[in-house]
Amino acid sequence: MRLRRAAFAAAFACLLPTLAACGGGGTTSSAGDVVPARQTKQFIHAKTSSVALPIGTLDVHAGKPVDDVPASDTHDLTALKAPAGMTYLPITWRYDDSTTKTYLQYTGTSALPTVDLRAGKGSYRLTTPDPAEGTESFYVLVDKSSSHPRLAVGFDGVTQQVDLTTGKRDAGRAKGLYALSHKRLRASKCTGTVDWSEIARASQTCRLTGPVLLPYAGGKWAKPGHEWLVMSMRTALTSYTQAGATPGSAGIYTAQAVKAAYRMGNHRPTALIPSNDASGTCPDQDTGTCNTDTALIFDVRDKAPRIKVVLKYRMVLAKGWAGYVGKKSETVSETARIRLHQPR
């Protein structure tokens, strides 16, 4: 944990032989100093709260302020005594990114949270929790007259407040993060009409994951009164057969490329996030299929209409029989109109 060390750490360092000359000058402590703590019973009786973020959840436990901290409770095994008019606020937290892994493909961001401790008139930036560190515990030196210290947890311009005395939370624009249900983001078959040529037959599959409504997606918070409708669509065209002009003749085509267009009513997606693996390649060198795998993000305010999807495939003749005469290559389209089941 890369927290700011309090001035006592410098004094402790003077015990080392190479720094023996440090003594005599004294040390000073100031509000906002952070002292790493041992994870022991001093954090059991604490106010508990949690802050949901687009990339995880921050669970926070805040104990009652103390003026004296025994050596057994500090990471460096050094006893602490708060300066006059000041006190130590014990905090332990754990950052859990497993709670939102289902939605991470839609976040489209590299942003990290910021955490500020606001006590009295002071505001002190704390180091962003590290998921790899697990539970982290520490003391923060604050003014003794500070009432109702708060954590201000910001993410990409939106800040949530947590009262460390009561555990109450003000989520503000992030309140939609507390109503997410993993059950809503489930896969199903695409339903709707598919238009193929009367003389063509295709073998293809389509899977739809979602839709679900999110307050944050594509690297942005939704506008006030709006939400992001997100969903993933995966298609696979495995074969395409074109009937010839003479009875019994036909040609088999393989897709070499595909272009996809998506519409919700008259609106295009705000963002398209393609998959970063082979599930979205065309053609797939191993299976020969032509695949799409894309996350779609739409800005919605009211009831969502149907989704219209148009897939345009560039086909190349692979084999013909019974005297088939046809184009060596051509472009064919598939159009699907999908009625969405409302996420809520």
Q: Are the C-beta atoms of 218 and 297 separated by less than 8 Å?
A: yes
Instruction: Please state, in angstroms and rounded to a whole number, the distance separating the CA atoms of residues 113 and 159.
Output: 9
Contacts of 317 (CB under 8 A, 6+ apart): 251, 252, 253, 326, 327, 328, 329
| Res. 108: pLDDT tops 50 | yes
Instruction: Please state, in angstroms and rounded to a whole number, the distance separating the CA atoms of residues 174 and 113.
Output: 13
Nearest to 126 by CA among 137, 169, 29: 137
pLDDT tier, 203 (very low <50, low <70, confident <90, very high otherwise): confident
Q: Are the C-beta atoms of 289 and 234 separated by less than 8 Å?
A: no
Instruction: Please state, in angstroms and rounded to a whole number, the distance separating the CA atoms of residues 211 and 110.
Output: 23
Contacts of 268 (CB under 8 A, 6+ apart): 262
How much is the average pLDDT of 163-168?
92
Q: Are the C-beta atoms of 215 and 173 separated by less than 8 Å?
A: yes
Which tokens belong to 213?
């409504």
- Mean model confidence pLDDT for the chain: 82
Which tokens belong to 23?
């003594």
Instruction: Please state, in angstroms and rounded to a whole number, the distance separating the CA atoms of residues 209 and 182.
Output: 11
Percent of the chain with pLDDT over 90: 39
How much is the average pLDDT of 271-292?
86
The C-alpha angle with vertex 124 and arms to 130 and 88, in degrees rounded to 5, equals 90
pLDDT, tens digit, for every residue of 54-69? 999 999 999 889 999 9
pLDDT, tens digit, for every residue of 132-148? 778 889 999 999 888 88
Strand partners, 255: 315
**Terminal CA-CA length for the chain:** 40
Say which residue, 186 or 3, is predicted with more confidence.
Answer: 186
Percent of the chain with pLDDT over 70: 84
Report the relative pairing of strands 47-53 and 56-62 from DSSP bridges.
Answer: antiparallel
pLDDT tier, 301 (very low <50, low <70, confident <90, very high otherwise): confident
The C-alpha angle with vertex 316 and arms to 314 and 319, in degrees rounded to 5, equals 150
Nearest to 290 by CA among 213, 206, 231: 206
Cα 329 → chain centroid: 42
pTM of the model: 0.79
